Structure 1
Amino acid sequence: MPNKNRSISIIIPVLNEELCLGELLHHLAHTSTPTHIREIICVDGGSTDKTLKIAAQHGAKVVSSERGRAKQMNLGAELAEGEILYFLHADTFPPKNFDQSILKAVEGGFMAGCFRMKFDTKNLFLRFFAWFSRVNLLLCRGGDQSLFVEKQLFEKTNGFNEAYHIYEDTEFIGRLYKNAKFKVLPDYVITSARKYREIGVLKLQFHFAVIHLKKYLGAGPEELYRYYRKNI
């Protein structure tokens, strides 16, 4: 069994997520052991819908922040009381007993890691790309896979770079790879393909590939964000 002295703080950056947040919080309550979860922190970037009300109804802590996922997640980490931070998107659903899997990985010497990922679609193109989430290479990482990291390591590596309005997850994970053993857990999170449905599968995947290439060639956060705003 996992070490009972360690607990997990789940940090969810939110912005107008009334359509999926309630379902996620209900899911978390039924797929984890309450004694392992210290708290769930919803860090809000200025929602104008029922997001805050839904979060409070499900017992989550609600924190207001400047908009921007990096800023929101850093604030959540700063306020978190758990020894392990688990960053989760509002439309990503972890597997059953995800908390036990995370705690066992940390006890095994992995100070950071993620789950494999599947999309909530039967689209063969997206299923093909999701398959690569099992590969333990930075190129195959992304925020939709969720991310756990020991709080001490998070602080040591200075957390998310707030200059990044996009790509903040991958940039941070790149630093984690250099500072710790990173574990890709064998179970799957299920994440929404809603943005692909809105924009188009091939079009969105193409632009994401260009963003990865630009970063690899040395583009900074502002150039990446300009491309994102223009094309996505």
Structure 2
Amino acid sequence: MSVAVSDAMPIFEPTHLCIVVPVLNEAQGIQATLQALAPLRQRGARVVVVDGGSQDDTRALAQAHADAVIEGPRGRALQMNAGAALGWGEVLLFLHADTTLPEHADAHLLQALSQGHVWGRFDVRIDGRPRMLAVVAAMMNLRSRWTGIATGDQAIFMRRATFAQVGGFAPLPLMEDIDLSQRLCAVGPPACLRQRVLTSGRRWEQRGVWRTIVLMWRLRWRYWRGESAHSLAEDYR
């Protein structure tokens, strides 16, 4: 990534960053996810956890490690919109509950935005036993660079003004990250950061790596052909 710095472009500080974490029944791992954000909070970033109606101890466990824990309508897209609606921060980062940011993620993304990008994402690494997960992650990163489309696993970030400009996340039960990426690409190309987030490989391991790969490609293909995200979500479940 090489972009000339504009004199008119503000230089953001970590205090301008808001990290939105949508959760649903994530008691097993939410503390580790949020504890990993402690250095960013010490530098001024604010963390908002948006619960979609957990039936376990997710909200109670998150309280000590976030600046706010709120309840939102169930659905990742709706929860992320609810977190953004608090109005904190000039920069928004949407982080899945099973994903860990790389060291100094705040500095990397703020630098990218200060160099002219209005949105971006990180490369991803998938944590899990199957060796094929490394190939899956590599293909995700390459596909994202070629197409400009990011997935939620890659920790999408953007200026708040840009988020408002494109209308936030559409109320979709699936493919909300692809839908948002398409609208963001109309505003500008993403900053594709080489630093890697670490995301859980649990869905690949639970369903089987190859079965999950085939399923996701089939769903994306049907989405590109115009099929409703609501019908795709039924098949995904």
TM-score by structure 1 length? 0.91
> Contact between 1:157 and 1:176, CA under 8 Å: does it hold in 2?
yes
The change in CA–CA distance for 1:83 and 1:202 in structure 2 (over 3 A counts) is: same
Q: What residue in structure 1 maps to residue 64 of structure 2?
A: 57
In 1: Cα distance, 2:12 partner to 2:180 partner = 27
In 2: Cα distance, 1:67 partner to 1:33 partner = 26
- 1:75-114 matched pairs, under 5 angstroms: 75-114=82-121
In 1: Cα distance, 2:234 partner to 2:33 partner = 31
CA deviation map 1:110-165 (0-9, x unaligned) = 11001000011252322112113433134763111111011000001001110x10
- Is 1:118 the counterpart of 2:125 in the alignment? yes
Q: What residue in structure 2 maps to residue 157 of structure 1?
A: 166
Report deviation, 1:35.
3.1
Q: What residue in structure 2 maps to residue 7 of structure 1?
A: 16
- Is 1:24 the counterpart of 2:33 in the alignment? yes
TM-score by structure 2 length? 0.90
Q: Could you say what secondary structure the match of 1:149 adopts?
A: strand
- Is 1:74 the counterpart of 2:81 in the alignment? yes
Report deviation, 1:214.
0.3
RMSD: 1.7
> Contact between 1:118 and 1:189, CA under 8 Å: does it hold in 2?
yes
Report deviation, 1:170.
1.2
Q: Which runs of 4 or more aligned residues in structure 1 lie more than 4 Å from their structure 2 counterparts after TM superposition?
A: none
In 2: Cα distance, 1:138 partner to 1:77 partner = 26
CA deviation map 1:65-108 (0-9, x unaligned) = 11000110011111131000000001000000000001100100
Q: Could you say what secondary structure the match of 1:43 adopts?
A: strand
Q: What residue in structure 1 maps to residue 203 of structure 2?
A: 195
Unaligned 5+ segments in structure 2 are: 1-10
Q: Identical aligned pairs, as a percentage?
A: 31
> Contact between 1:109 and 1:181, CA under 8 Å: does it hold in 2?
no
Q: Residue 232 of structure 2: which of 220, 224, 227 is its match? A: 224
The change in CA–CA distance for 1:122 and 1:199 in structure 2 (over 3 A counts) is: closer
In 2: Cα distance, 1:205 partner to 1:133 partner = 11
**Paired amino acid for 2:125:** K
Unaligned 5+ segments in structure 1 are: none
The change in CA–CA distance for 1:103 and 1:36 in structure 2 (over 3 A counts) is: farther
Q: What residue in structure 2 maps to residue 173 of structure 1?
A: 181
> Contact between 1:113 and 1:149, CA under 8 Å: does it hold in 2?
yes
**Paired amino acid for 1:84:** V
